[in-house]
């Protein structure tokens, strides 16, 4: 089926819906999403959204900008970080006006809490910057934005999965191809402008806080169409996932006063970050946990440590962290009011992704040349405000600030430009992919390959990496790629074929993994979340630059682009 819209947004999480809200009523816009919008993973975000409102103590956008740059180990593009920190304030107020139910101060203003790496006066001590709604901030963002989109009468195509992106030979974006999951039918969406807002790819790892649907679809599709990916080696592990399950226990636990303890009961962060302690940035805390475990100070010599909330007043736990309390009770049968909680780092957030400028335009090279009509925002994009390590609460604000900017730029673009003709047989690639998977009579099971992929990524591209490990990983990925061509699925039906969906998603995960492995192997230094045991120091002389990796006919090709530095010269990162 053929559809024509001025603007098509792929993804109905925070980034996609924020953009949709800018376009609705102003032009003809459609949102397509493989999940019902309210099922998007933005809804799982817990702790907060950063903005220097200064409602409970002095704060300034420039302090927020500084923390973002330092937290990102100076790989952040500072022009983008300045936009983020300045516009965060206005974006939060806009959310409030749309009905966001923030927790309030006694005088009725938006309340704020502490979060890792957010400081007053350029690092002096923690500051209350995270606006929140209990520990369901992401749920409330998703609800508020979906409600706003309904109010503005956005057209939704729910449970439609994008399979391909349409670019002309001279590099203009003309639309997307998507499959209606319920019927298996392919739909061609002809558009003047397309926004990719498809979220992250945590499912490349075995232990992750990410949803089963977080499979990097948009990132992989862009990569397949020749668009380079930026900084893919920077993948964040959040320190506090529920042991073995990976379910996140928000940093808000520590923001409210929670403490990490090793098997001996010691508050080990005193040794690693004497000023910010448990609220040091995530890359440092995750490494510290593993260092404790390696030194035999995990609990009972095993690979986990404790999160201790038992000293907090029970009413703080019940009222400010109700969902987390519920997770711990449901999945562990423990009571955070009196029990220690077993935690381990969990794969959480992709700092890298599809490169964009501050208006969300996807750029194709080191000179930031934009692709006409193609935009990206949210976790699938890399503007780069998170650099080598994202601070807590900075993703949700990234979604609303850059989702909004992308939406606004798209509006101007669709007003000034006409439809480009579609390529001939626009859906041939998507059709071939679906038919191939349905008909292939191999011997490999999708789930087996996926489990091996996740295991290998966890071992060799996790918190600690080495050159040898990454080479071994690349070999494994090559093997998995070959075996992927020999899959067989049981389900040959067209109706709601989730096995087909999972097989397609595995292909996307493989693409993401290959980009991560090659980028990580090339970067011979340690910075933020990318820690090379064979190159343990940061090396600004050689590596203060963004990685770009592209799939070409000759294989994967790496290039680099400079980091934008405006206000803050790179310094050593101590907390």
Partner 1 sequence: MQVTLRIQRFNPETDSKPYYREYTVEVEPTDRVLDALNYIKWYQDGTLTFRRSCAHGVCGSDAMRINGRNRLACKVLIKDLGPKITIEPLLGFRIIRDLVVDMEPFFAQYRAVMPYLINDEPPPVRERLQSPEERALYDDTTKCILCACCTAACPIFWTTEWLGPAAIVNAHRFLFDSRDRAAEERLAILNQKFGVWRCRTIFNCTEACPRGIQVTNAIEQVKRRILFEQS
Ligand X SMILES: Cc1cc2nc3c(=O)[nH]c(=O)nc-3n(C[C@H](O)[C@H](O)[C@H](O)COP(=O)(O)OP(=O)(O)OC[C@H]3O[C@@H](n4cnc5c(N)ncnc54)[C@H](O)[C@@H]3O)c2cc1C
Which residues are part of the catalytic machinery? Answer: 282
From candidates 55, 262, 395, 547, binder to ligand X by CB under 6 A:
395
555 marked as binding residue: no
Contacts to ligand X from residues 293-352, by CB under 6 A: 348-349
Helix (H) / strand (E) containing 255: helix 252-255
| Residues 95, 99, 103: CA angle, nearest 5 degrees | 85
Query: Burial level of 509, CB count in 10 A (0-12/13-18/19+)?
Result: buried
CA pair distance 233, 210, nearest whole angstrom: 18
Q: Residue 163 belongs to what H/E stretch? A: strand 160-167
Q: How far is the CB of 340 from partner 1 (least distance, A)?
A: 18
Note whether 512 and 201 are within 8 A (CB): yes
Does 263 show up as a binding residue in the annotation? no
Q: Which of 338, 418, 495, 553 binds partner 1 (CB under 8 A)?
A: 495
25 binds partner 1 (CB under 8 A): no
The verdict on whether residue 40 carries a ligand-binding annotation is yes
User: CB under 8 A: which stretch of 266-274, 362-370, 446-454, 566-574 binds partner 1?
Assistant: 446-454
Helix and strand tally (H, E) in the chain? 16, 20
Per CB under 6 A, which of residues 134..163 are in contact with ligand X?
A: 137-138, 161-162
Supply the minimum distance, in Å, between the C-beta of residue 491 and partner 1.
Answer: 4
**Residue 3 assigned to a binding site:** no
Site track 13-32 with ligand X (rule: CB under 6 A), x = hit: xxxx---------------x
Residue 378 contact among partner 1, ligand X, none, beta carbon within 5 to 8 Å by kind: ligand X
Q: Which does 143 bind (CB under 5 to 8 A by kind): ligand X, partner 1, none?
A: partner 1
- CA torsion sign for 502, 509, 163, 247 is positive
One DSSP character per residue, 258-319 reads -EEE-TT---THHHH-TTTGGGS-HHHHHHHHHHHHHTT-SGGGSS-EEEE-TTS-HHHHHH
Q: Which of 22, 33, 40, 236 touches partner 1 by CB under 8 A?
A: 40
Q: Is 133 in the site for partner 1 (CB under 8 A)?
A: yes
Q: Which is nearer to partner 1, 39 or 206 (CB)?
A: 39
Give the DSSP letter of residue 198: -
For residue 311, report the phi and psi dihedrals to the nearest 5 degrees: -85, -5
What are the Cα distances from residue 330, in Å, to 297, 316, 324? 27, 19, 10
State the DSSP H helix or E strand holding residue 4, giving kind and residue range, or none if neither: strand 2-10
Known binder of ligand: residue 39? Answer: yes
DSSP 454-494: HHHHHHHSSSSB-HHHHHHHHHHHHHHHHHHTTB--S---S
Q: Restricting to residues 42-71, which ones interact with partner 1 according to CB under 8 A? A: 43-44
Distance CA 232, CA 242 (A): 25
462 binds, among partner 1, ligand X, none (CB under 5 to 8 A by kind): none
d(CA 137, CA 557): 39
Q: Based on the shown chain and the rule CB under 6 A, indicate whether residue 399 belongs to the binding site for ligand X.
A: yes
Task: Dump the DSSP string for 209-246.
Answer: SS-TT-S-HHHHHHHHTT--EE-TT-EEEEEEEETTT-
Question: Rounded CA gap, 29 and 34, in Å?
Answer: 17
Interaction between residue 108 and partner 1 (CB under 8 A): yes
Residue given tokens 């009571």 in the structure block: 335
331-370 positions binding partner 1, by CB under 8 A:
331, 333
Determine if 93 is a binding residue for partner 1 (CB under 8 A). Answer: yes
Q: Indicate which of partner 1, ligand X, none lies near residue 399 (CB less than 5 to 8 Å, by partner kind).
A: ligand X
| Of 150, 264, 295, 432, the one binding partner 1 by CB under 8 A | 150
* 396 annotated ligand-binding residue: yes
Q: Which strand (E) or helix (H) includes residue 180?
A: strand 173-180
Nearest Cα to 382, choosing from 363, 405, 365, 397?
363
The DSSP result for 99-118, as a single string, is T----B-TTSSBPEEEEEEE
Q: Which does 98 bind (CB under 5 to 8 A by kind): partner 1, ligand X, none?
A: partner 1
Nearest-approach distance from CB 400 to ligand X, in angstroms: 10
Whole-number Cα distances in Å, 50 to 85, 435, 525, 550: 9, 45, 30, 33
Residue 35 marked as a ligand binder: yes
The answer to whether 198 touches 320, Cβ cutoff 8 Å, is no
Q: Is 393 in the site for ligand X (CB under 6 A)?
A: yes
User: What track of x and - describes contact with ligand X for positions 490 through 529 (by CB under 6 A)?
Assistant: ----------------------------------------
**Closest CB to partner 1 among residues 55, 363:** 55
Number of residues that bind partner 1 (CB under 8 A): 60
Q: Which of 6, 48, 63, 284 binds ligand X (CB under 6 A)?
A: 48
Q: Which is nearer to partner 1, 54 or 467 (CB)?
A: 54
When asked if residue 496 is in the footprint of partner 1 (CB under 8 A), the reply is: yes
Tell me which of 8, 23, 30, 35 binds ligand X, using CB under 6 A: 35
Binder among 6, 19, 23, 42 for ligand X (CB under 6 A) = 42
Neighbours of 212 (CB within 10 A): 11
**CA 222/CA 201 separation, integer angstroms:** 14
Q: Kindly identify the residues of this chain, within the stretch 497-536, that bind partner 1 according to CB under 8 A.
A: 497-499
Q: Which residues contact 413 (CB under 8 A, 6 or more apart)?
A: 192, 193, 372, 373
Binding ligand X by CB under 6 A: which of 21, 47, 51, 205?
Answer: 47
Q: Is 411 in the site for ligand X (CB under 6 A)?
A: no
Angstrom distance (rounded) from CA 104 to CA 110: 5
Choosing among partner 1, ligand X, none, which partner's interface includes residue 526 (Cβ < 5 to 8 Å by kind)? none
Give binding residues for substrate as ranges. 238, 250, 348, 390
Give binding residues as ranges. 11-16, 33-48, 217, 238, 250, 348, 379, 390, 395-396
Which residues of this chain interact with ligand X, rule CB under 6 A? Answer: 10-16, 32-35, 37, 40-42, 44-49, 137-138, 161-162, 197-200, 209-210, 217, 248, 250, 348-349, 378-380, 392-396, 399
Which residues of this chain interact with partner 1, rule CB under 8 A? Answer: 35-36, 38-41, 43-44, 92-93, 96-99, 101-110, 133-134, 136, 139-140, 143, 147-148, 150-151, 182, 211-213, 245, 247, 323, 326-327, 330-331, 333, 445-448, 489-491, 493-499
Give binding residues for FAD as ranges. 11-16, 33-48, 217, 379, 395-396
């Amino acid at each position: 089926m053929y559809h024509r819209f001025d603007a098509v947004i792929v993804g109905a999480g925070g980034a996609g819906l924020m953009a949709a809200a800018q376009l609705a009523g102003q032009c003809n816009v459609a949102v397509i999403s493989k999940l019902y919008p309210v099922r998007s993973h933005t809804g799982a975000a817990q702790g907060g959204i950063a903005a220097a409102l200064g409602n409970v103590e002095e704060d300034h956008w420039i302090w927020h900008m500084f923390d973002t740059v330092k937290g990102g180990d100076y790989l952040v593009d500072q022009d983008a970080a300045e936009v983020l920190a300045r516009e965060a304030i206005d974006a939060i107020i806009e959310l409030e006006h749309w009905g966001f139910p923030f927790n309030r101060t006694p005088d009725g203003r938006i309340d704020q809490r502490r979060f890792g790496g957010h400081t007053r006066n350029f690092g002096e001590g923690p500051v209350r910057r995270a606006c929140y709604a209990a520990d369901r901030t992401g749920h409330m963002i998703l609800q508020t934005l979906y409600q706003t989109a309904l109010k503005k009468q956005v057209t939704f195509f729910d449970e439609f999965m994008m399979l391909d992106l349409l670019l002309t030979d001279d590099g203009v974006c003309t639309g997307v191809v998507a499959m209606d999951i319920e019927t298996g039918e392919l739909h061609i969406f002809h558009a003047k402008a397309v926004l990719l807002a498809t979220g992250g790819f945590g499912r490349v790892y075995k232990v992750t806080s990410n949803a089963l649907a977080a499979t990097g679809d948009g990132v992989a599709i862009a990569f397949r169409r020749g668009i380079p990916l930026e900084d893919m080696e920077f993948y964040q592990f959040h320190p506090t996932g529920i042991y073995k399950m990976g379910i996140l226990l928000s940093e808000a636990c520590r923001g409210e006063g929670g403490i990490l303890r090793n098997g001996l009961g010691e508050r080990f962060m005193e040794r690693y970050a004497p000023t910010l302690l448990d609220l040091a940035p995530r890359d440092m805390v995750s490494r510290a946990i593993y260092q404790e475990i390696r030194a035999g100070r995990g609990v009972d010599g095993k690979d986990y440590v404790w999160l201790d909330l038992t000293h907090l007043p029970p009413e703080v736990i019940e009222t400010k962290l109700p969902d987390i309390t519920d997770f711990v009770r449901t999945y562990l049968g423990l009571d955070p009011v009196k029990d220690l909680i077993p935690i381990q780092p969990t794969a959480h957030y992709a700092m890298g992704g599809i490169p964009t400028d501050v208006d969300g335009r996807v750029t194709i090279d080191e000179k930031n040349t934009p692709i006409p009509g193609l935009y990206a925002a949210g976790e699938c994009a890399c503007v780069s405000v998170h650099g080598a390590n994202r601070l807590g609460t900075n993703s949700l604000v990234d979604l609303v600030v850059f989702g909004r900017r992308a939406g606004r730029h798209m509006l101007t673009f669709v007003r000034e430009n006409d439809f480009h003709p579609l390529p001939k047989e626009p859906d041939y690639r998507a059709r071939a992919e679906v038919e191939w998977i349905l008909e292939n009579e191999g011997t490999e099971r999708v789930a087996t390959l996926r489990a091996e992929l996740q295991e290998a990524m966890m071992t060799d591209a996790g918190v600690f990496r080495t050159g040898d490990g990454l080479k071994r990983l690349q070999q494994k990925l090559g093997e998995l790629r070959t075996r992927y061509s020999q899959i067989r699925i049981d389900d040959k039906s067209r109706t709601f074929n989730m096995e087909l969906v999972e097989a397609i998603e595995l292909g996307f995960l493989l693409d993401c993994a290959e980009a991560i492995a090659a980028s990580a192997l090339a970067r011979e230094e340690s910075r933020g979340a990318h820690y090379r045991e064979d190159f343990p120091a940061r090396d600004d002389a050689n590596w203060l630059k963004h990685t770009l990796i592209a799939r070409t006919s000759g294989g994967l090709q790496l290039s680099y682009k400079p980091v934008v530095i405006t206000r803050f010269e790179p310094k050593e990162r101590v907390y």
